[in-house]
């Protein structure tokens, strides 16, 4: 029986790097955002590459659950990467039986990064409110979960991933710290619009910390999103 790890993230949160990290384990398969077409179909969002996403994925979430989430993989583990806001317009029954990983990022940096690809985002676009709602649901249901902050992960990948693996009840694998540069065959069709940075990476590189200027037009979104981030950050694995 394949053990399922379900990533629930906002966009621009190094979620693809974390997927590559798990994908570098020989005992783990990875799946890239299987509910993206479902989300675009129901939300009507005009994301970059929308047409191609709709052509390469099924918009019927029931089929996705059956053919992707319930599938038996050839590896002991499977890492299913999802955006929090993609998990909408649907029943949440499929969340049972998986170990969930919530990935968050400093809201100011998230918003500024997302705005460069999809201008003037809303609270729905950045996913943090939906992520908090899903966290509340999963916690209330008694499902297993862990929370990771990308800033903490980049401070000490070895430590954070070691703790995460312990919570997932799997051995830590040092191969999770490095991967080959370039795209992976599991990448979704949208990779060329969103994955340029991670395709140049070979690991969790700590970037130089510098202040990020938030445009005035995005301040209301920041103020709306901040409480959700703070609540989740309280539960995140911290670097000592």
DSSP 3-state of 149: strand
Q: What is the pLDDT of residue 123?
A: 96
Question: Tell me: the pLDDT tens digits for 92-113?
Answer: 999 999 999 999 999 999 999 8
Q: Which helix (H) or strand (E) holds 7?
A: strand 3-9
> Does residue 83 have a pLDDT over 60?
yes
Q: What is the DSSP letter of 97?
A: T
> Does residue 232 have a pLDDT over 70?
yes
- Give the residue from 234, 18, 239 showing the smallest Cα distance to 147: 234
DSSP 3-state of 131: helix
Question: Tell me: the pLDDT tens digits for 26-75?
Answer: 999 999 999 999 999 999 998 888 999 999 999 999 999 999 999 999 99
Output the DSSP codes for 24-39: TSTTEEEEE-TTHHHH
Widest distance between CA atoms in the chain: 51
Average model confidence (pLDDT) for the chain?
A: 94
Q: Is 171 exposed, middle or buried (0-12, 13-18, 19+ CB in 10 A)?
A: exposed
> Which residues, in sequence order, are bridge partners of residue 29?
78
Q: What is the pLDDT of residue 208?
A: 56
Distances (CA, A) of 10 to 76, 147, 170: 26, 12, 25
Report the predicted TM-score, pTM, of the whole model to 2 decimal places. 0.95
Q: What is the pLDDT of residue 8?
A: 98
> Does residue 206 have a pLDDT over 80?
no
> Does residue 197 have a pLDDT over 70?
yes
Name the percent of the chain lying above pLDDT 70.
99
- Helices (H), strands (E): how many in the chain? 12, 5
Q: What is the pLDDT of residue 147?
A: 98
CB 19 within 8 A of CB 30: yes
- Give the residue from 140, 147, 37 showing the smallest Cα distance to 96: 140
- Give the residue from 25, 12, 4 showing the smallest Cα distance to 161: 25
DSSP 3-state of 81: strand
Q: What is the pLDDT of residue 196?
A: 87
CB 17 within 8 A of CB 201: yes
Domains of the chain in sequence order: 3-233 (3.40.50.300)
For residues 103-138, one letter each, b for 16 or more C-beta atoms within 10 angstroms of the residue's C-beta and e for the rest, the string is bbbbbbbbbbbbbeebeebeeebbbbbbbbebbeeb
């Amino acid at each position: 029986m394949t053990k399922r790890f379900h990533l629930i993230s906002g966009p621009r949160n190094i979620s693809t790097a974390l997927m590559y990290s798990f994908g570098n384990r020989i005992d783990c398969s990875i799946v890239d955002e299987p509910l993206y077409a479902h989300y675009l179909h129901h939300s009507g969002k005009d994301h970059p590459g929308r047409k191609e996403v709709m052509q390469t994925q099924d918009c019927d979430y029931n089929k996705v659950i059956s053919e992707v989430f319930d599938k038996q993989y050839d590896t002991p583990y499977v890492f299913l990467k999802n955006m929090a806001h993609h998990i909408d317009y649907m029943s949440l029954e499929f969340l049972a039986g998986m170990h969930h990983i919530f990935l968050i990022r400093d809201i100011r940096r998230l918003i500024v990064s997302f705005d460069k690809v999809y201008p003037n985002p809303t609270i729905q676009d950045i996913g943090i409110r939906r992520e908090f709602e899903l966290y509340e649901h999963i916690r209330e249901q008694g499902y297993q979960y862990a929370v990771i902050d990308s800033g903490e992960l980049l401070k000490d990948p070895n430590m954070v991933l070691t703790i995460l693996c312990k919570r997932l009840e799997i051995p830590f694998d040092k191969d999770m710290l490095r991967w080959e540069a370039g795209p992976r065959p599991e990448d979704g069709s949208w990779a060329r619009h969103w994955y340029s940075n991670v395709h140049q990476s070979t690991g969790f590189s700590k970037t130089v910390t510098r202040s990020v200027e938030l445009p005035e037009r995005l301040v209301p979104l920041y103020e709306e999103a901040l409480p959700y981030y703070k609540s989740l950050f309280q539960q995140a694995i911290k670097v000592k």
